[in-house]
Each structure stands twice: as structure tokens, then as C-alpha cells.
Amino acid sequence: MQDEAEKRAGEASAIEAEATAEGAPEGAVTRAAGPDGRPFTGHALIRHLLPTLPHRPGVYRMLDEKGAVLYVGKARDLRKRVASYARPTGHGERIRRMIAATHGMMFLTTGTEAEALLLEQSLIKQLKPRFNVLLRDDKSFPEILVTRDHPFPRIVKHRGKRRVKGHYFGPFASAAAVNRTLNQLQKMFLLRNCTDAVFEGRTRPCLLYQIRRCAGPCAGKVSEAEYAGLVADAEKFLSGRSHELQARLAREMEAAAARLDYERAAVLRDRIRALSEVQATQIVNPRGIAEADVVALALEGGEACVQVFFIRGGQNWGNRAFFPRTGAGAGAAEILEAFLAQFYGRRPPPREIILSDAVANPDLLAELLAARREGRVRLTVPRRGVRADLVAAALRNAREALARRQAETASQVRLLERLSRIFELPAPPERIEVYDNSHIQGAHAVGAMIVAGPEGFIRSAYRRFNIRAASGDDDFAMMREVLTRRFSRLVREDPRREGGNWPDLLLIDGGKGQLSAAREALAGLGIDDLPLVAVAKGEARDAGREIFHRPGRPPLALRHDEPALHFIQRLRDEAHRFAIGSHRRKRAGALGRSPLDEIPGVGPARKRALLAHFGSAKAVADAPLADLKVVKGISRQLAETIYAHFHDE
């Protein structure tokens, strides 16, 4: 069901043909005009389209006069649902404005209402209509992975797709929560976290063994069977069976003391103590709840905060605040339903989701989540007991987070207003893009773009550019290349500037030279109306003495105590941080590459075999063909390929 709906979402986004209302094919834009030739809009358009709609589940889209999507909705019965918009009265302000702006509609039918819900959420994430609720921060969450591809499994932090064979535990709310749990697991169960390559290359235990954070399997300090017992205990702890584990360890400690094995008894005592510390430091105490997410919504002034607490294995694994766009004033039930459908779109839900408010269609949402989990999902709105206490804690955190964000946003808006006056912009900028480059004498050059707006830094919009054409340390050529690549794509994808991805202000780190390079790049694309400012560091390169260069204007300096100056410094520093980090990652990747990586057919396993046999990549390059053929795992044909690679044959 999910694959089919996602396929239909892709098909729907590709349809651009227009047709009249009569006989319009499914998925086409439907418009209509009256006898006088004037196009129908709003209620009149919807009433005209009603007779053409089937009594089937599906998804509808409302479009403005330029064809941009205003709203995506789902329906159990398309005709009945759309008919509710045909009435001229009885709508809230948000729906009234949406109907008035509607100049066209699109329709797609589905097999079931659940498919319609899935298709609706896919289209919302893809099209980002302004009247829909949209989850803006949808990053993957970190997990803990216990590998299963080695006799001595390692325990590590994992993020992304589950490609590695092993047992996964999560999600955790943050990397800090994972690191804290991994630190506890190292103390209690002494599992290794080194890579397999490091493990195979060691003959003596590392520092972690000396400080009692690892059992030392690399040096034979623990047998495979004993280590497997430690792994099993760690998995019991992560699965919420810590009390059972604690009771068993207590019995083993008493038995060790009875046979005068005090060293073993002390090890077990320390493990029991660490378990007790973990149980005592839980921020939220989820008594009797093994696996659940607690989701609480705070609404204030048209803004929303959703706080999610993750409970796994009877433990609180952290919490995260989300600030979904509320679709111009949606209600709590609609916001929570949209949030849950999008939030669990890429991750399996837990067995139970504890909510602060009821959702609009609980049975339909539970069906969708059950399909995602491949098992039953229970939605509850508790009024008393432990679950109600958990919701109260999450709701308190949501309200506090929303209040902090609103205060920060108000301050940010004032800064943007001041910035617009200083640089004589037509309005406070909604999107500021800042560009910087980083390299060492032209090597591993990277261009970076960061984005900021009324709500602060928009990190999901950050971009890095691997410099391709510019050579040497020509900063001007690098800036031209970065801006040409960025805006040529923007011109191609959004020529009418309707998608919200065009900046209202460009800040360039540099002086007159960078400003000229930026103007040249934009002019080459026919763009001459974007406000452009180059930020030079001024005399002695001291912060507070920045000089601002603008096309056709004299240089501008601001007072050292000007709030807008400090704001620009933060933007520039963030761009510099992002550029430096991107450059370092690129340089580290280049340093870590081996000549063997360029040979087709030589993957990590064969690379390790070659290095183990010859000792270095240079020795592999110098080896005669006969020696290459005897390496374990290297076939005769691959040996010839390796030899030819290093001898230009």
C-alpha cells in the first residue's frame, strides 16, 4: 500500500497538463469558466466541479491563480468532502481565505482512505502548501547498534538506514542521549566500540581496557563465550529487562563471594551499582510502560510546539521539541494528525502513542501506523494515572519550548527589520543566504551556503559545493562558480520565484573583489534585482570594524554597538564554521583514501587482504603478478587487473 501510494505521489507531481472541468482526466488541473468567459473561482468553481467527482477515496489539491498548490486534502468520499467547501458560509477564517484564493483543483482517487492519507502526507512534504500543517524538522534519529557480523560484536551509535547486520535499539532523542547510554553500557558490560580493522590489527589491549571500559577481546582477555554473555546482558538492559538482569547479577555476586572469588564479586558489584545509577537518574519515570512515545501539543498565537518523549525498554531515551508550520491556523486535532502521519513516515512507530489531544481520524491513523509498524499501534489520550503524568510533563516542556522560541523569534524579527532599514531593503528579509569558501592554497576547495530567516538558522537549507572549475587559490573564481551553480539551478527549477527558495538578501564574505565576482555571476544568469552585500573585515581584520560593500553605493560602516552588526557577525561566523567543517571533512576523506580504492573489484575485504599480505599500498603497487595471485581472496583475473592498474597496462 505504501509503495503504491508513494508511486502515485510521484506521478501526481509530474502532471502539468491543464484541462477543462468537463471530461478532465484524473490528475489534470481542472478549471472552469462561465458563459461570459470569465474563470470561476472560490465557491463557484467548487460547485461547478462537484458533478464530475466520484464517491471514492482520494486526494484533492487546491491551486491559486498561478498554479501553486494552496492545500492538499484527503477524503473518504471525494464528492462529499469537496462539497463542504461549496457552501459560502460556516467556515473559519483560515478555510475562508483558502477557498477565496482557489482558481483550480486537481484530484486523484485511491483504493482506500488509508492510501489517501499516505498520499496526502507524501504530497504535503513534497509540495509544502501554505495552508497545510508541515513538519519542518524531519531528520533521522540516532540509534544504538549491536553488530552481528563478527565473533566479538561491537556496540556503536548509528544513524540512517539499517544496512549493517545487527540488533538496533532506539530511537534516541539526540546524539547526547545515545552517547550517555553508550558510556553507561561500556561501564557495565565492557563491550568494544573499535572498528573491525583496528580490532584485527591489535596485539595488546587499548586504554579502554586499562580503565575498565572494555573486556579486551582483541588481545584474548575474554573468551568468545564470556563476551557473548556480556552482549546478551547489554541487549537485555536495552530491551528493558534491567531489573531481571540486576537480580541475576546479585545472585552471581553472592555465589562468587561464597567461593572466595572476590575479584569477580567486585566486578559484578560495580555492574549492579551502575545499573542502579541508571534507574535512579531517569528524568521521566515511565513505570509500567515498556515502549511508547509521549506526544504533547502546545498552541499559542497560531504557533505550535510538539514535544515527543521516547520511552523504550522501560527507560526514557530523551525528548525532542518540534515546531510544525500550522497551516495558517489549523486546530489541535488536525495538527496532531498531520504531525504523526509525517513524523512516522520514515520510522516505525512504537506499540503505543500517548497523546495530549485527540486526533481528527484516530482509527484511520492507527491503521496507517499499524501498516508502518507491521503490528498493532494503540493511540491513547489519558486523563489520569501514570500516562497522564507523562503527558503533563511533556506538555509543560512543550509550553516552555514554545515560549522560548516565540521570544527568540520576536528578537529575530526586530533585527531583520533593522537590517532592512540599514541596507534599504523593500521589506524585512524572510530568507538570507550567506556564502563563504574554504581551502588551503586551492586544495580541497569547498563553497558553503547557510540560510537564516525570522526563526533563526535554517540548517536543513544549508548547502556545500565542491569546487570543480576554479583552480589554484582564486577566491573570486570560486565565488563565481558557487553562485553560478546555485542560481542557475534556482532559475531552472523556480523561474517565477514562487517556491520560497529565492533569497531576499545575499551576504558574501569578502570585499570589493568578491562583490564584483558575485555581480558577474548573477548578471550572467540575467539576475540583477537581488540585494547583494559583501562583508569585509576592515582594518586589522578586527570584529566590529567590518565594511559593507554594495553595488553602486559607497562603503558602509556601522557603530560597534549596533545590534544589526552583531547579527551579521553571527551569520558570517556560522557560514565560516560551516565552510571550514566541510573543507576539513573533504580533506580528511582525501587523506584516508588509498590507491587501492580506485581499482574496480577491490572492495574493503580484498583491500584488507592485500594490505595484510603486503603491508602497504606501495608494496601492492610494486608487487609482481605472481605474488598478487597467491593472496587469499584475489582471483587470477583480479590479480591481473591490479597489476595492470599500477603498470599502465
Query: Is 137 within a domain?
Result: no
* Chain position carrying cell 560593500: 549
Name the H helices within 374-474: 385-422
Please, what's the b/e burial string for 575-601 (b: 16 or more CB within 10 A of its CB; e: otherwise)? bbebbeebbeebbeeeeeeeebeebee
Give the CATH number, domain containing residue 623: 1.10.150.20
**pLDDT for the residue numbered 271:** 73
> Residue 78: inside a domain, yes or no?
yes
Q: Tell which of 539, 568, 587 closes a domain.
A: 587
Rounded average pLDDT per 10-residue block, the chain, 649 residues:
46 35 49 70 86 90 87 91 86 86 89 86 85 76 87 88 84 79 82 86 85 87 88 81 74 82 78 64 61 90 87 81 80 89 85 91 88 89 90 90 83 90 92 87 78 88 83 80 92 82 92 91 91 82 77 89 88 90 72 69 83 81 86 87 77
- pLDDT for res 435: 94
Residue showing cell 491503521? 367
Spatial separation of the C-alpha atoms in residues 158 and 179, rounded to whole Å? 11
CATH of the domain at 24: 3.40.1440.10
pTM for this entry: 0.65
SS (H, E, C) 118-136: HHHHHHHHHHCCCCCEECC
Is 127 a member of any domain? Answer: yes
Q: Looking at the structure, do residues 371 and 463 belong to the same domain, yes or no?
A: no
DSSP 174: S
Are residues 81 and 138 in contact, defined by beta-carbon separation less than 8 angstroms? no
CATH number at residue 462: 3.30.420.340
- Residue-level pLDDT at 72: 92
Q: What is the pLDDT of residue 61?
A: 92
Same domain (yes/no): 442, 572: yes
DSSP secondary structure letters along 98-116: HHHT--EEEEEE-SSHHHH
The verdict on 33 and 158 lying in the same domain is no
Measured CA to CA, the distance from residue 365 to residue 114 in angstroms comes to: 8
Q: Is the domain of 101 the same as that of 126?
A: yes
In a domain? residue 362 = yes
Do 579 and 460 share a structural domain? yes
Q: Is residue 451 located within the same domain as residue 387?
A: no
Record the cell numbers describing residue 609, joined without a space.
Answer: 587482504
- Which amino acid is located at 437 in the chain? N
Residues 521-536: pLDDT tens digits? 999 999 988 999 999 8
How many domains in the chain?
5
What is the C-alpha separation between 236 and 223, in angstroms, rounded? Answer: 20
Where a domain ends, among 99, 131, 163?
131
User: How many C-beta neighbours within 10 Å does residue 467 have?
Assistant: 22
Verify that 149 and 251 share a domain, yes or no: yes
SS3 419: helix
- For residue 415, being part of any structural domain is answered with no
Asked, for residue 533, whether it belongs to a domain, the answer is yes
343, 138 Cβ separation under 8 angstroms: yes
Task: Give the pLDDT confidence score for residue 598 in this predicted structure.
Answer: 73
Block residue for cell numbers 603491508? 615
Domain that holds residue 341: 291-403
> Cell 535512579 appears where?
280
User: Does 544 lie in the same domain as 601?
Assistant: no
Distance of alpha carbon 273 from its chain centroid, rounded? Answer: 37
pLDDT of residue 432: 95
- In terms of residues, how long is the chain? 649
CATH number for the domain harbouring residue 336:
3.30.420.10
Is residue 255 domain-shared with residue 307, that is, in the same domain? no
Considering the domain architecture, whether residues 526 and 480 belong to the same structural domain is answered as yes
CB 328 within 8 A of CB 131: yes
599 and 556 assigned to the same domain: no
DSSP of 3-66? HHHHHHHHHHHH---EEESTTPPTTSEEE-B-TTSPBP-HHHHHHHHGGG--SS-EEEEEE-TT
pLDDT digits (tens, 9 = 90+) for 585-619: 776 665 556 677 778 888 878 888 888 888 777 88
Domain end position, chosen among 249, 280, 311: 280
Helix (H, G, I), strand (E, B) or coil at 498: coil
In a domain, 425, yes or no: no
Report pLDDT for 6: 46
Q: Are strands 505-509 and 432-440 parallel, antiparallel or unpaired?
A: parallel
Q: 171: cis peptide before it, omega within 30°?
A: yes
Residues 574 and 445 in one domain: yes
Q: Where are the beta strands (DSSP E) in 92-246?
A: 104-109, 133-134, 143-147, 155-158, 166-169
Q: Whole-angstrom Cα distance, residue 227 to residue 191? A: 8
Q: Which residue has the cell 578586527?
A: 542
Judge whether 408 lies within some domain.
no
